[in-house]
Structure 1
């Protein structure tokens, strides 16, 4: 299993619109083969931060979904990012 987690930094004046504009991506990801969870959410404290959380069954399914990546317009709105991929070897109840 893979976890993709971190955050994006966008213009605070654009953050809520950015999150809303990503709703179609979230919906498509959640329907994609191998997607266990996918969320892009506005941070409760930082007005320019968008939190990223994804869980995938495999690299192949993640790459199949991502395809060519973000379109130029969406990518241009991201001012900074810190998003990492974590490989999970075991899962147990919390």
Structure 2
């Protein structure tokens, strides 16, 4: 079952571009871990100081390994260098994944293969 980590971090800075760029080694390192499908940190272009976080992991054991590994701890240390104003990061279990568009090209809110 896939696990999604998604949310935001607000730092007490105007521009987070250099903060994200200097975290590249930690981001690249996470991609070397088993089960890491996506590990994306990106600047919000509308909210100064905001970083969006999106991660996708194959299963719970892979995510736990990441939490116990130095790449996670090193990223935390990197971010602690900058005053934080707030954050909201959540995890989601995903039991069904399918395309937004069905075979006819129609966007669907329901899960058409689950019927």
**Uncovered stretches (5+) of structure 1, i.e. residues with no partner:** none
Higher strand share: 1
Structure exhibiting the larger radius of gyration computed from Cα positions: 2
After TM superposition, what 4+ stretches of structure 1 lie above 6 angstroms from structure 2?
A: none
Q: So what's the TM-score if we normalise by structure 2?
A: 0.72
User: Which secondary structure does the structure 2 equivalent of 1:44 belong to?
Assistant: coil
The one of the two structures with greater contact order (alpha-carbon pairs below 8 A, sep at least 6) is 1
Encode CA deviations 1:10-52: one digit per residue, 9 max, x unaligned. Answer: 1224512211122111111112100011100111111210000
**Uncovered stretches (5+) of structure 2, i.e. residues with no partner:** 101-115
Compared CA separation, residues 36 and 78, structure 1 to 2 (3 A):
farther
Aligned to 2:79: 74
Give aligned pairs, total.
93
